[in-house]
Amino acid sequence: MSPTLSGALLVIISAVGFACMPIFASFAYVYEVNVLTLLFLRFSLAALLLFAILICRRNQVWPNLSQLGRLGLLGAVLYALQSTCYFLAAKYTSPGLTSLILYTYPVLVAAYGILRGYERLTLRTIAALAASSLGITLIIGTIGTTINSLGVALAFAAAVVYTCYIVISKELTKELPALVMSAFVTLFAAASFFLLGMFTGELQPHAPGAAWLPIGGLVLIATVMAIITFFAGLERVGPTRASILSTTEPFVTVVLAAVCLKQSLSLTQLCGGLAILSGTFLVIMPQAKPVVGTDPLKPHP
């Protein structure tokens, strides 16, 4: 399997893992687990598991001070800031519009890569971005949404922050294994949400027994698996392709919500899913390479 195809599959697996997050969270909220507590448990338990794996492995590469600083920026600052902007935006405008604005980040990542010179603006990239954007619009929808300028600004800020997260992550994947990056990012994110929870007084780490099943799913599937496979896939396919492939996440969430939460799945949302899948196909489809020394207008023997 080629690195591009394996990387694409890893990013799609990551998107499926992240798509499970709101489903697990919905079940956890039934047991009155608040948002900050859930985020703290999610990242702290994931960090414990990941570090346990790292300690058991021999000849493990550990980050130096410079790399540790960038990992702290990813976990404690960018991850926490993106989550904060996103949840605040959802208070001022609809979740659909908030998510729609957040998913402008593939365009921002592509624009950054083109400006820096390590991405080429090809027709395939444009078509993939257009198909994915159309799919997101169809799935989420904004009918009946009251536009609030503060909510829009916060949602766009979340998209910009997440763009920075992806770009910095890509640079670090060249230096550190995905498992190491995942362990430290979750550790720093846990520390950030712990401090925020203590400051606001909303941290309640003692969850009811029945709540630990969805919390466990949130930790293992929507955090450990999702983050490791994202970093591993990002290293192989690059930030622009990884961003486009990640747009499969909302479609999977809609399908899971229909199956697990008995929410309706409309024809429009299905069409949106097909649009996203077409964008994904454009990303992972191998490009034909010309044969050196042959006339492109003549059939190769």
Q: What would the DSSP string read from start to end of 141-178?
A: --TTPPP-HHHHHHHHHHHHHHHHHHHHHHHHHTTS-H
The reported pTM is 0.78
Residues 6+ apart with CB under 8 A from 241: 4, 7, 8, 11, 283
Decide if 100 contacts 142 (C-beta within 8 A): yes
Q: Which two tokens stand for residue 51?
A: 């570090």
The three-class DSSP label of residue 210 is: helix
**CA–CA distance, 85 with 5 (Å, rounded to integer):** 33
pLDDT tens readout for residues 65-110: 999 999 999 999 998 898 888 877 767 776 656 677 777 788 888 8
Amino acid at 171: E
Q: pLDDT band for position 22 (50/70/90)? A: confident
Mean pLDDT, the chain, whole residue set: 82
Most confident range, picked from 104-108, 136-140, 145-149, 201-205: 201-205
pLDDT tens readout for residues 163-183: 999 999 988 988 999 999 999
Look at residue 285 in the predicted model and tell me its pLDDT.
65
Amino acid at 180: V
Region of 144 please: left (phi>0), alpha (psi -120 to 50) or beta: left
**Per-residue buried b or exposed e for 184-205, using 16+ beta carbons within 10 Å of the residue's own CB:** bbbbbbbbbbbebbeeeeebee
Res 161 pLDDT > 50: yes
Decide if 135 contacts 276 (C-beta within 8 A): yes
pLDDT tens readout for residues 240-258: 888 888 888 877 877 887 7
Look at residue 299 in the predicted model and tell me its pLDDT.
32
